[in-house]
Amino acid sequence: MPHTRPDILFIMTDQQRFDTIAALGNSDIYTPNMDRLVRRGITFSNAYATCPVCVAARYTIRTGCEPATTRVFTNAKAGPVDGQALEMETRCGAYLARTMSRLGYRTFGVGKFHTNPWNEDLGFETLWRCEETYHPPNREGDDYGSWLAREHPEFDFLEQPMGERTEMFYLPQRSPLPADLGGEWWTADRTAEEIEKSDNSGPFFGFVSFVGPHPPLAPPIPFNRMYNPDRMPEPVLGKVQEDHLDEEISFMSSAVWADAINPALSKIVKARYYGEITYLDYCLGRILDTVEARANSDNVLICFFSDHGDLLGDHHGWQKQNFFEAACRVPLLLSWPTALPAATERTDFISLADLFAIATGAAGACEAREGIDVLKMLRGECAPRQHLIGMVEVPGSHDFKIMVLTDEWKYIFMANGGREQLFDRKNDPNELSNSISSSSEVRSDLYALAVKACRVPGALGALEGNKLRAFPFRQRPPTRIYQFDRSRGVVRFPDQPQDALKGFDRATLRPLE
């Protein structure tokens, strides 16, 4: 007998902006397979990463809990506070994959999981890792890296097969690999194999996590020359003083070497970013073809989303870790033909924490945890959110930020200097005009919501009495992030240029064994 519960497939991209899907209004980009998903189901046009940083977003997804509970506000974990259990799953509940296994689903994960520690047990029955960087002492823990070295040793000399990082992080590149050997292609292959393994004995829950379009921006041929930089849209720029009220934006631009990017180069970078997305879209299409080849394809729930976005030159900045729309708003497409309408848009506020309830709800045993039951909301059986809260950096720290989002307004408080921004979402969608002085009553109402949101154990440090804790403004000294191939022992530039030749055969310049 065929099973009646849906197969469930979550597909996540990394650092994909909300405005990069052709069917949703971007006429400059080619995304035929994301467009297929738009037609297949529901587009949530107000979906947000409440902590727009890679590791933090992933813990929100796998726990169904917001950062105050996970205590992950950056790419590092903060320790639990008094009253919170030490272990993450004790504090939040079993991870999503482990929960789905307990609900009778065959679970598999493929791609980037960016855990801390890197080899953390996530509860998948089958796990294929394709991380963006390799970990010491070798590549053996990375399934893609070890596959590439084993099956295609001619490319094993590459220290960074997904593109050079460090000072090249935001400089346009071409992949050193052909398209069919790239990490995205490999991820699509493993996913298709796992889907094809499924039979009528029970449903599957698959979590696919692409590395792209996260920098470095190195699409393979022919995606590297798909977009003419002169045809790329201009960046959204306000007054630099307003754009950089969040000091972390200028700090991060320096850290990832993006302070070297001028206006002309920014359009070249965007062209390569779009190329990465179209390459990823091509790989996505191979997964969708596998799904559609199944007899029960209409009973496969597919949820497509990203962990956060990227300023990509908007607001004189790069990267994420801030609350401008380009950084924290994400694409989120949900389709399940047997249960949900096609080609529909919803404007309800969605958090990445809600994904937990989508999966468990479709499985018949909804756990909303700190999210909401989206499927129930879509049936009209519960009310949508009235507002959404976001937090970045540890509450009580100098760099803590909190966002309050309503239908009409976005309020941002920065502990560094007690700085504030207020944007009229209807009349100023590009967030160019700070209304903090002209709309004091709105500011007061949203400030009160921010204070209330911090009255939970994991965020109490953000408060000083009945106010949000503020610190004298500080400008952090510029720094650089060095990202080399640590699995080969390369961690920085050499002290002397000739030191880079150590460890290489003089005759061939091949690495010594």
Structure tokens that stand for 407 in this block? 């239908």
Q: What is the 3-state secondary structure (H, E, C) of 492-512?
A: CCCCCHHHHHCCECCCCCCEC
Show contacts of 136-141: CB within 8 Å, 24+ apart: 136/486, 136/487, 136/489, 137/487, 138/487, 139/487
Those residues with Cβ within 8 angstroms of residue 188's Cβ, 6 or more apart along the chain or in another chain: 283, 284, 286, 287
- Assess contact for 262 and 237: CB atoms under 8 A: no
Interatomic CA distance for residues 178 and 233, integer angstroms: 28
Computed over every residue of the chain, the mean pLDDT equals: 96
Closest CA to 37 of 296, 474, 340: 340
Burial class (CB in 10 A: 0-12, 13-18, 19+), 475: exposed
What is the number of H-type helices and E-type strands within the chain? Answer: 14, 15
CA distance 196 to 180: 20
Pairing between β-strand 329-330 and β-strand 42-48 as defined by DSSP bridges? antiparallel
Q: Look at strands 204-209 and 7-13 and give their pairing.
A: parallel
For residue 135, the model assigns a pLDDT of 77
**pTM score, two decimals?**
0.97
In what helix (H) or strand (E) does residue 273 lie, and over which residues does it extend?
A: helix 263-292
Beta strands in 314-387 (DSSP E): 329-330, 332-335, 344-351
Residue 190, SS3?
helix
C-alpha torsion sign, points 224, 230, 236, 241: positive
For each of the domains in the chain, give its residue range(s) and CATH number, in order of start.
16-229+237-501 (3.40.720.10)
Tokens for 221, please give them: 């041929």
128-157 tens-digit pLDDT: 999 998 877 667 789 999 999 999 999 999
Q: How long, in residues, is the chain?
A: 513
Averaged pLDDT in 10-residue chunks for the chain of 513 residues: 84 98 98 98 98 97 98 94 95 98 98 91 97 80 94 94 96 97 98 90 94 98 98 96 97 95 96 98 98 95 98 97 98 98 98 98 98 98 96 98 98 98 98 97 98 97 97 96 90 94 91 80
- Residues 284 and 486: their CA atoms lie apart, in Å, by 30
Q: What spatial distance separates the first Cα and last Cα of the chain, rounded to whole Å?
A: 55
Rounded (5°) CA angle 340-342-344: 100
Helix axes 143-151, 183-197, angle to 10 degrees: 100
pLDDT at 1: 41
Please write the tens of the pLDDT for every residue from 32-62. 999 999 999 999 999 999 999 999 999 999 9
Paired strand residues for 504: 511
* Beta strand ranges found along 258-382 (DSSP E): 300-306, 329-330, 332-335, 344-351
Name the DSSP letter for residue 456: S
